[in-house]
Structures are given as structure tokens and as C-alpha cells.
Amino acid sequence: MIALIDFGAGNLKSVANALNDFRAEYIITNKSDEINSADKIIFPGVGEAASAMNKLTDKNIAEVIKSTSKPLLGICLGMQLLATFSEERNTKCLDIIQSVVKQFDKSKVKVPHMGWNKAEFYNRAKLFTDVESGEYFYFANSYYLPITEYTIASTNYDVFFSAAINKNNFYGVQFHPEKSGKAGLQILRNFIELC
Amino acid sequence: MLCKRIIPCLDVKDGIVVKGTNFIDLKEAGSAIELAERYYNEGADELVFLDITATLENRKTLIELVEEVSKVIRIPFTVGGGISNIEDIEKLLNTGADKVSLNSSIVKNPNLISSASKSFGSQAIVAAVDSKTTGSLHKVFIKGGTEETELETISWCKKVEELGAGEILLTSMNKDGTKSGYDIELLRYLSSELTIPIIASGGAGKKAHFLEAFTKANVDACLAAGLFHYKELDISDLKNYLYQNKINVRL
């Protein structure tokens, strides 16, 4: 059973639809006990970091995420919130990945970074099984997690940033696997079946 | 490097896709779901659905459409037409749409852009601007192009960017349906003035028009409707052509 965390800042329907494509069993929940009893956790997020962190704290989900030993996949803002801090409204985040989320430089590139871009894989992580390095994924982000020691894939947009990360049981993708055609679906499937 | 995007637009009336010329004279083009699926398989980068009836009675139909579409395609899509408040936006995004396109409502209430982008992120908010040029003057029109406003196109686009829109969908009413090419001059100027992505709309008639919009006007995405609906142009052919002409597209 997969827990799809609903904290009021995610495009849950699209992730749920993608999970339906390969008949994964999931529950959409914001309850700590349901999240804790799931085998895997998907943590999607869109919108703005500060209000998302407030919602996570209000609903007592922040602690659940920090302390979980289950495989967890953060998507988009969900990945960024795994960092220590975000420059988006100077928000203290979950501090699982010790890094600071930064904004793209508007004087150099159009912001948001919106559309399809390549992700170059650093290794053959399980998350990337049957997906080629250099595949295109759909991104929609104004902020980015820099390259860290936990980066497993990078994307270039003015700077190289983390397209995917992995630290122990924590995984994250900056792109939207649920909106990235076949390659994106394969990544979701890999998380569910292999990670 | 970020790819240039090709976006088919589906003008929808009661679940059926229609396409007009210069904003009038509607012609049926088929079921919205079937077309959406076809475009997804042909390699469209995104889709846009515009509810052109956009009445209160049709709101439910639009939600149902979004729900059905999100079941069959795995690429992002935008929904627009008659969206006038935060509740509408929330409902459409929660049903599976990735972005909403706002047009008449933000002219009447520009603060809707800032409140919506705060709630849902600027990436979810597309400002649709219908512009008509008379002489050297570009004016913004609303209500499906039927009502002229006092707003000048370029300053309005700058304003929506300031307020937090994540993209601008600029439709040239002079060019729409004419197949004579995008409004390169206006788009080029806008692209140099703004820092958010611009989607070109209105006037696509052949492959070279897309190439021109990317190379000469530096737009981020090109939108077209009838050209794709009636199979005058296949999306994968178009993208191959662009690729051969050194445009970075997703093949």
C-alpha cells in the first residue's frame, strides 16, 4: 500500500491517475498513522514553499516524513522541501538533504523553468531502471535544489541543478513523473516496484 | 537545455472541439477526449482546452472533461474559459488540470492573478491575452474577442507578469485563423520585455511559421488548433522538421 500524502498543496489527481495506470494500490491521506503504516510514501507538492511547510507542520506530517524509514518519493516542491532551507520566502524545510533551495536568475533565463528538459543520470540507480539517461521530463519550477552529494541526476537551465536525489530511503525528483509521458511513468513504477 | 514546446489547443463546446476563423464561424472538429489522446500519442508537449461557451451551466461539463482528459493523457494540460474565482481554479486543478488560463476575469480583477499564484504557484497560472492591432496600436480584447478594453497589450502583459502569472498566452486576433503566420513583430517585442515564458497563438498555417516564431520571436511555445485538428499538419512531422532546423524539441 502506498500513501499519497495530501497536505493541500499537490496535484494528487494526476499522480493517482498515473498510479492507476499500473494498478498500484494507494490511499490519499494526511493522517500520521496511515502514512506510517504504508509500505511506501509519495510526497507530491506544487505551489509555494512557506505555505506548504506551514500546512505540513499544522497537520503534523513534517515529523512523520522526517522520521520515516519507508521509501519516500518527493515530487517537485515535495523534493525541494526535503532540503534544509528554501530561499522561497526564506523557509525552513525538513533538513533531510543538507542544502539550500535557490531561485533561477531571471536576468539570465525565463522563470519559471517550464517545459521539457533532459535529465542526465549520474548512475544506474534503481529509480532509473529501463529509462535512458538524457531522457526528457516535464518541469515547472522557479526554484531549484543545487547539485549535492545526494544528486543522482542533473538538469541544465542556466545552472546545473538536481533533477533527482537519493539519500537512504529518501528519493526526490524535481520533474513531474506523472506528466512526463512514458519515461515518467517508468520512474514512478520503478519507485513502487524496485526502491 | 529546455525544449521549445508545441501545444495543440482544443476549443471546446459541450465536449466537442470546434474551431473558428477570426473568433467566429465555428466548425466541429471531433471529440475532445479522442483528439487529446491522438495528440498525446503524436508527441504534443502540452494541451490547452478552452471552454468557449463558458457559461455557468457548462462549468460542470468542463470539470467532467478535465477529469476524463486527465485519465487518458500523461502530459500537462491547461484549462481556460470563464474562470473567474479562486474556487473555480482550485476545483479544476484538483480535478487534474496543471494550469488554468485566465482572460476576461483578470482584466476585471487583476488581483485574481496574485491571489491565485500565491495559492497554487505561478506555474499554474497562465494569463491569456487576446490582442488586436490597429495601425501601431495593440489593444487587449476580452469575452472571446468581442469586447475591446482600454488596455494596451504590452503594458498589460508586463502587469500580469508583475502580478505573478507564470506564462503568457498571446493570441493575435488579426492573425487568428488566417494561416498567414504568427505575429512575429509583437511576439519578438514581448519576448524581449518579459521574463516569463510566452506562448505564441494565432496564425500558424505551415511548419515554417513555427520555426519563424522560435527563431525570430524567441517564443517558448507555439500553439495551434485547426491545423492539427484537420490533420493538415502532423505533430511528429512538425517536430522532426523543427529538429532538422536546429530547434531543441522533444522527439
User: Chain B residues with CB inside 8 Å of A12's CB?
Assistant: 94
Which residues pair with residue A116 across a beta bridge? A138
Q: Which grid coordinates are listed for B71?
A: 485519465
The neighbour count for residue A105, using CB atoms within 10 Å, is: 12
Shortest CA distance to A50 belongs to which of A9, A7, A91?
A91
Q: How buried is B155 (Cβ within 10 angstroms: 0-12 exposed, 13-18 middle, 19+ buried)? A: exposed
Q: Are A117 and B3 within 8 A, CB to CB?
A: yes
Residue A159 near residue A147, CB atoms below 8 Å: no
CA A114 to chain centre: 16
What pLDDT band is residue A113 in, cutting at 50, 70 and 90? very high
User: What's the whole-number average pLDDT of chain A?
Assistant: 95
Annotated catalytic residue within A149, A176, A193, A195: A176
Q: Tell me what pLDDT residue A25 has.
A: 95
Closest CB to B250: pick one of A110, A116, A178: A116
Q: Are B43 and B3 in contact (CB under 8 A)?
A: no
pLDDT given at position B14: 75
Query: What count of residues does chain B have?
Result: 251
Per-residue pLDDT of chain B (251 residues; tens, 9 = 90+): 899 999 999 988 877 787 654 444 555 666 888 889 999 999 999 999 988 776 656 677 788 889 999 999 999 999 998 899 999 999 999 999 999 999 999 999 999 999 999 888 899 999 999 999 999 999 999 988 889 999 999 999 999 999 999 999 999 999 998 999 999 999 999 999 999 999 999 999 999 999 999 999 999 999 998 899 888 999 999 999 999 999 999 99
C-alpha B57 chain-centroid distance: 23
Q: Are A133 and A118 in contact (CB under 8 A)?
A: no
Cα separation values, A86 from A33, A141, B162, Å? 28, 13, 22
Number of domain units in chain A: 1
Query: Could you tell me which chain B residue has the CA closest to the CA of A116?
Result: B3
Q: What are phi and psi of A38, to 5 degrees?
A: -75, 160
pLDDT of amino acid B230: 80
3-state secondary structure labels for all residues of B173-205: CCCCCCCCCCCHHHHHHHHHHCCCCEEEECCCC
CATH code for position A142: 3.40.50.880
Longest CA–CA span in chain B (Å) reads 46
Task: Give the model's pLDDT for residue B22.
Answer: 45
DSSP per-residue codes, B201-234: ES---SHHHHHHHHHTS--SEEEESHHHHTTSS-
- DSSP β-bridge partners for residue B133: B138
How close A17 comes to chain B (CA, Å)? Answer: 6
Residue A10 has pLDDT above 80, yes or no: no
pTM above 0.90, yes or no: yes
Which are the contacts of B81, defined by CB distance < 8 A and separation ≥ 6? Answer: B12, B49, B50, B51, B52, B53, B54, B62, B101, B103
Pairwise CB contact (< 8 Å): A136 & B250: yes
CA pseudo-torsion sign B219, B220, B225, B229: positive
- Catalytic residue flag (residue A76): yes
Cβ atoms within 10 Å of A56's Cβ, excluding its own = 25
Q: Which residues of A touch B122 (CB under 8 A)?
A: 112, 142
Cβ within 8 Å, pair A115-B2: yes
pLDDT the model gives residue B231: 83
Is there a catalytic annotation at residue B130?
Answer: yes
Report whether B117 contacts B164 (CB < 8 A): yes
Map grid coordinates 515564458 to a residue.
B197
For residue A47, name the pLDDT band (cuts at 50, 70, 90): confident
Chain B neighbors of A136, CB-CB under 8 A: 3, 250
Q: Please list every residue in chain A whose beta carbon sits closer than 8 Å to the beta carbon of residue B2.
A: 113-117, 139, 157
Omega of the bond leading into A112 within 30 degrees of 0 (cis): yes
Q: Which candidate, A54, A70, A8, A65, places its Cα nearest to that of A32?
A: A65
Q: Kindly state the cell numbers that stand for A148.
A: 549535492
Give the span between the Cα atoms of A163 and A135, in whole angstroms: 12
In chain B, whose CA is at the least distance from the CA of A108? B195
Beta bridge partners of A126: none
Ranges A50-59, A154-163, B71-80: which has the least confidence: A50-59
Interface contact B1, partner A, CB < 8 A: yes
Range of the domain at A18: 2-194
Catalytic residue among A88, A178, A193, A195: A178
The ipTM, to two decimals, is: 0.93
N-term to C-term CA, chain A: 14
Q: Do B166 and A114 touch (CB under 8 A)?
A: yes
**B2 touching A, CB under 8 A?**
yes
Closest by Cα among B199, B198, B190 to B223: B199
Q: What is the pLDDT of residue A163?
A: 98
Cβ proximity of B201 and B223 under 8 Å: yes
| Closest chain A C-alpha to B159 CA, distance in angstroms | 16
In order of their start, the domains of chain B are: 5-244 (3.20.20.70)
Residue among B75, B95, B197 minimizing CB distance to A13? B95
Q: How confident is the model at residue A9 (pLDDT cuts 50, 70, 90)?
A: low
CB contacts < 8 A (A, B)? 100
pLDDT of residue A119: 98
B161 touches chain A (CB under 8 A): no
The number of beta carbons lying within 10 Å of the beta carbon of residue B10 is 27
